[in-house]
Amino acid sequence: MGTETGKAGKEAVRQMQGKYANVIVDISHENVDRPFAYRIPERLRGVPEPGMQVTIPFGRGNTLRTGYIIEVTDEADFDESRMKELDSIREGGAQVESRLIRLAFWMKEHYGSTIIAALKTVLPARKKFKTPEKKEIRLRVSREEARQELLECERKHQNAKARVLRELIAEECLPMGLLAKKLNISASTFKSLWESGIVSIESIPYYRNPVKLDVEREEGRRLSPSQRRIVDDFFEKYDAGDRQTCLLKGITGSGKTEVYMALIEGVVRRGHQAVMLIPEIALTYQTVLRFYRRFGDRVSVMNSTLSAGEKYDQCERAKRREIDVIIGPRSALFTPFPDIGLIVIDEEHEGSYKSETMPKYHARETAEELARLHGAAVFLGSATPSLESFYRAKEGRYRLYTLSERLNGGALPKVYVEDLRQELKEGNRSIFSRRLQALLEDRFARGEQSMLFLNRRGYAGFVSCRMCGHVMKCPHCDVSLSEHRNGTLVCHYCGYTRPAVKICPECGSRYILGFRAGTEQIEEQLHKMYPDKKVLRMDADTTRKKESYEQILASFAAGEADVLVGTQMIVKGHDFPAVTLMGILAADMSLAAADYRASERTFQLLTQAAGRAGRGSRPGEVVIQTYQPEHYSIVHAAAQDYEGFYEEEILYRRLLSYPPAAHILAVQIGAADEEAGAALAKRLSLLAGDLPEGSFLIGPAPASIGKINDVFRFVIYIKSPDYDLLIRLKDRMEKYLKEQDDREGRGRTVQFDFDPMNPF
Ligand code: ADP
Ligand code: ZN
Ligand code: ZN
């Protein structure tokens, strides 16, 4: 596939003659800040494109070196008379880097960012790292002797030592780091054990493979007839050269992951590599383990908890074809594989596939572009596809596959919708509806587990005065402060903290209180009502530490608690067969968000949450508590009716020209000076000029959060069905900003966000 040409690249060339090329000599992340400009000689005009490898004279002696073109332009940012000339274009060469650079160039064009920011996103960090060592601790005495020693320690209350011995009696040799963390053992304890000759400690160098599991390899399961049909159809078309993007819509538990693995296996057998994207939050030990069982050490994981060294090693292994499969969140797309054959995106509707920093790319479209560069296919999967993807499937742009039954026979749960207004009318002031209480007690009686999900998107635990309505706000940001349990008020945007207030600063009343309908309060309430039941809580506070997330999940899976209370985290892709009741509290909280995706998010969350109950042999029940039982996202979620929801939602999107019916370009302006910011926003909006029919300009207006960290924020929205028009407007604004030198100059910033996921 050495001859294909990037579309974006071609367009760029068409638009201009291309007199100059910006070249980077060393394509490591750290050095892309310093591109060098070269003149393109007459004989090469029209040929150079981003990503191409070139030979250039470099340095004082003009030694010929190899570099990569990152940009071709007509404007010299640099004195032309001092510019050197490009020597030649190298054919073939480093395909991996070329493709990644082309991808970066496409991202810059498509999402509006600088080429440098795009390159930094795409290129791997290139640092040499020392191979680390791992310490292992091993029993040097017989188990019997160790038991004697353990008794001795227990008698002397040497608890730390005793804990280590117990583990070593069970398992003779263990990684020391793990023990230290898990059992909270200090270095001096290890030292004292070592000195007494009971244990040995060894350092062994190890190659950073983030997941080292000694697992039995497992063959794939025999696919069900409906799974088989999908896999066969896919490969029939794949082998005929058809690379249409596919969308698999299948309820949770319908066997999507098994299909992904079969596809990946087939593509690997054909000599290609595969990228498996999973939202970071769903990237659990269980999921990874499943892939390890299937692909052994030919698979690796990329995620944010890896150290830079570990990431570097994974990239090296990918480049050298030592692995065939990478699993990870959106950034795993940029794993430098030489020949990708398939990119799978699970839970493709997840908001986390869109980057919130420049370039604000979406993994789905970026995957499609990357797949084009490699001649690979993209395969999307979800129980509740994004409106975008389902729309494309309906239009015939994506090939739609469906799996509509749960595999291990688990029936869909029974869903109750409870009207909280009615509860209040009838005198129930508790946060639990009477139905939910009754079902909880029923589960307690039967010894089964329940989950309570608090939908708290957009919820801010704010503090207000019940007398005058005054809300405690951050002095630097236009947001309310949140009350924390330790009595402080915190700004979640800038970290500003102040002590709680007892008296309203506005009217002096003492009735200034926080609304704490958070997970903590639910946990407290459960303790009060059912003191003998064990409750686990999972939210941003309890999972701050790296492993605590897995720990809570493992503990709940092991049956160590009756109820798990949590936020979004508990509904994303975990299998708890013993859970037979799911309570969804405040189902409509996410409907309140000022955002055109609010209904879609609510529907997805509720459907996902409902899918958590009854995944084992026992049937599940779901209680949805809401103030808006008649809202279509709640009605359709309760009926598990995706298409019904889609049909209503798409009408609304069409009516208001929201994606996927149209595209939106959000121009986000930040300025330390309020007036200057407003003026800049005004000037930029005027640049849009006369828009064709069906395209609209909204704003400029203060952003939904008008101020963060003393920076005033403004936003302009341009809606149009024509994405290319939006790109041209973006280019026009960029050009203007460059001329004005306004961009990021004098405390101002302008960023572009195409089809934004969150309001600015
Ligand atoms: P999804 O990804 O759609 O949630 P999974 O692939 O995780 O579904 O499958 C759900 C459950 O069914 C898993 O426990 C899986 O091991 C099992 N399963 C999947 N495919 C098969 C099959 N062909 N035969 C038997 N069990 C299967
Ligand atoms: Zn007051
Ligand atoms: Zn703040």
pLDDT digits (tens, 9 = 90+) for 646-705: 999 999 899 888 899 999 999 999 999 999 999 999 999 999 888 898 898 988 888 878
Tokens coding 276: 């498996």
Tokens linked to 299 = 């698979």
The pLDDT value recorded for residue 262 is 96
Shortest-distance atom of ligand 1 to CA 251: 3
Is residue 212 within 8 A of residue 201, CB to CB? The reply is: no
Q: Is the CB of 599 under 6 A from ligand 1?
A: no
Q: Which ligand is nearest to the CA of 477?
A: 3
Q: What is the mean pLDDT of residues 201-206?
A: 64
Largest CA distance in the chain: 88
Q: Counting ligands in written order, which one lies closest to the CA of residue 403?
A: 1
pLDDT tens digits, residue range 392-418? 999 999 999 999 887 766 677 889 999
**Which of 65-79, 316-330, 581-595 shows the lowest mean pLDDT across its residues?**
581-595
Closest atom of ligand 1 relative to the 227 alpha carbon: 23
Higher pLDDT, 638 or 136: 638
Q: What is the pLDDT of residue 243?
A: 96
450 band by pLDDT with thresholds 50, 70 and 90: very high
Average pLDDT for 505-532:
82
In sequence order, the 6+-apart residues with CB closer than 8 A to the CB of 241 are none
Q: What pLDDT does 211 receive?
A: 55
Residues written for the chain:
760
Of the ranges 454-463, 527-536, 541-550, the best mean pLDDT one:
527-536
Ligand 1 atom 15 nearest Cα: 255
CB 299 within 8 A of CB 360: no
> Ligand 3 centroid to 481 CA: how many Å?
8
Neighbouring-strand partners of residue 69: 23
Q: Which atom of ligand 1 is nearest to the CA of 260?
A: 6
- Residue 229: its H or E element: helix 225-239
Q: How far is the CA of 680 from the centre of ligand 3 (A)?
A: 24
pLDDT for 544: 64
Residue 207 has pLDDT above 60, yes or no: no
pLDDT of 138: 84
Q: State the distance from the centre of ligand 2 to the C-alpha of 473, rounded, in angstroms.
A: 13
Query: Residue 216: what pLDDT?
Result: 63
Q: Which atom of ligand 1 is least distant from the CA of 222? A: 23
Tokens of 652: 């609304």
**Mutational pocket test of ligand 1: of 408, 572, 575, the residue with most ligand atoms within 8 Å of the beta carbon:** 408
Atom 18, ligand 1: which residue's CA is nearest? 255
**Arithmetic mean of pLDDT over the chain:** 83
Section 542-548 average pLDDT: 65
Question: What order of strands is seen across the sheet that includes strand 133-139?
Answer: 173-175, 133-139, 199-205
Long-range contacts for 262-265 (Cβ within 8 Å, ≥24 apart)?
262/220, 262/223, 262/227, 262/231, 263/231, 263/234, 263/342, 263/344, 263/379, 264/295, 264/325, 264/342, 264/344, 265/220, 265/294, 265/295
Q: Which atom of ligand 1 is nearest to the CA of 383?
A: 3
pLDDT at 158: 87
Query: Which residues, in sequence order, are CB contacts of 681 under 8 Å at separation 6+?
Result: 667, 669, 699, 700, 714, 715, 716
CA distance 466 to 388: 43
Q: What's the mean pLDDT in 526-532?
A: 92
Question: Tens digits of per-residue pLDDT, 221-239?
Answer: 789 999 999 999 999 999 9
| Proportion of the chain above pLDDT 70, given as a percent | 86
Q: How far is CA 356 from CA 285, 364, 476, 752, in A?
A: 26, 15, 22, 11
Residue type present at position 344: V
Residue 216 — left, alpha, or beta (φ > 0 → left; ψ -120 to 50 → alpha)? beta
Identify the residue whose C-alpha is closest to ligand 1 atom 23.
Answer: 223
Indicate whether 574 pLDDT > 70. no
| Residue 292 CA, ligand 2 centroid: distance in Å | 59
User: Quick check: 9 pLDDT over 90?
Assistant: no
Q: How sure is the predictor about 476, in pLDDT bands with cuts at 50, 70 and 90? A: confident
pLDDT at 1: 35
Ligand nearest to the CA of 255: 1
Return the ligand 1 atom nearest residue 290 CA: 16
Higher-confidence position of 485 and 647: 647
Q: Is the CB of 226 under 6 A from ligand 1?
A: no
pLDDT one-digit tens code per residue, 297-347: 899 988 777 777 778 888 888 888 999 999 999 999 999 999 999 999 999
Q: Please state the atom number of ligand 1 nearest to the C-alpha of residue 224.
A: 23
**How many Å lie between the centroid of ligand 1 and the Cα of residue 221?**
9
Does the pLDDT of residue 572 top 60, yes or no? yes
User: How many whole angstroms from 409 Cα to the centroid of ligand 1?
Assistant: 11
How high is the pLDDT of residue 67? Answer: 84
- The residue behind tokens 């979004």 is 568
Q: Look at 56-60, 89-93, 248-252, 415-419 and tell me which has the smallest mean pLDDT.
A: 89-93
Out of 248, 258, 286, 406, mutate this one to test ligand 1's pocket (max ligand atoms within 8 Å of CB): namely 258
Task: Tell me the whole-structure pTM to 2 decimals.
Answer: 0.79
Residue 564 has pLDDT above 60, yes or no: yes
CA 751 – ligand 3 centroid, Å: 21
Ligand nearest to the CA of 470: 2
Contact indicator for 743, 681 with CB cutoff of 8 Å: no
Q: Is residue 159 predicted with pLDDT exceeding 60?
A: yes
The whole-number pLDDT of residue 7 equals 44
Determine if ligand 1 sits within 6 Å of the CB of residue 519.
no
Mean pLDDT for 465-493 is 76
Structure-block tokens of residue 617: 């042999």
Q: Is the CB of 227 under 6 A from ligand 1?
A: yes
Q: How confident is the model at residue 537 (pLDDT cuts 50, 70, 90)?
A: confident
More confident residue, 300 or 479: 300
Question: CA 366 → CA 109, 113, 238, distances in Å?
Answer: 12, 14, 20
CA of residue 468 to ligand 2 center, whole Å = 4
Nearest listed ligand to the Cα of residue 221: 1
Write b or e for each residue in 108-145: b if 16 or more Cβ atoms lie within 10 A of its Cβ, otherwise e. Answer: bbbbbbebbbbbbbbbbeeeeeeeeeeebbebbeeeee
Q: Which residue has the higher pLDDT, 551 or 724?
A: 724
Q: Is the CB of 66 under 6 A from ligand 1?
A: no
Please give the angle made by the CA atoms of 279, 281 and 283, to the nearest 5 degrees: 70
pLDDT at 51 over 80: yes
User: Ligand 2 centre from 464 Cα, in Å?
Assistant: 8
252 lines ligand 1 (CB under 6 A): yes
Q: How far is the CA of 250 from the centre of ligand 1 (A)?
A: 11
257 lines ligand 1 (CB under 6 A): yes
The pLDDT of residue 3:
37
What separation in Å is there between the alpha carbon of 510 and the centre of ligand 2? 8
- 258 in ligand 1 pocket by Cβ < 6 Å? yes
CB neighbour list of residue 536: distance below 8 Å, 6 or more residues apart: 552, 555, 556, 560, 561, 563, 564, 565
Highest mean pLDDT among 163-177, 391-405, 528-542 belongs to 391-405
Q: What's the CA-to-centroid distance between 472 and ligand 2, angstroms?
A: 10
Identify the CA nearest to 604 among candidates 387, 374, 366: 387
**CB within 5 A of ion ligand 2: which residues?**
465, 467-468, 470, 504, 506-507, 509
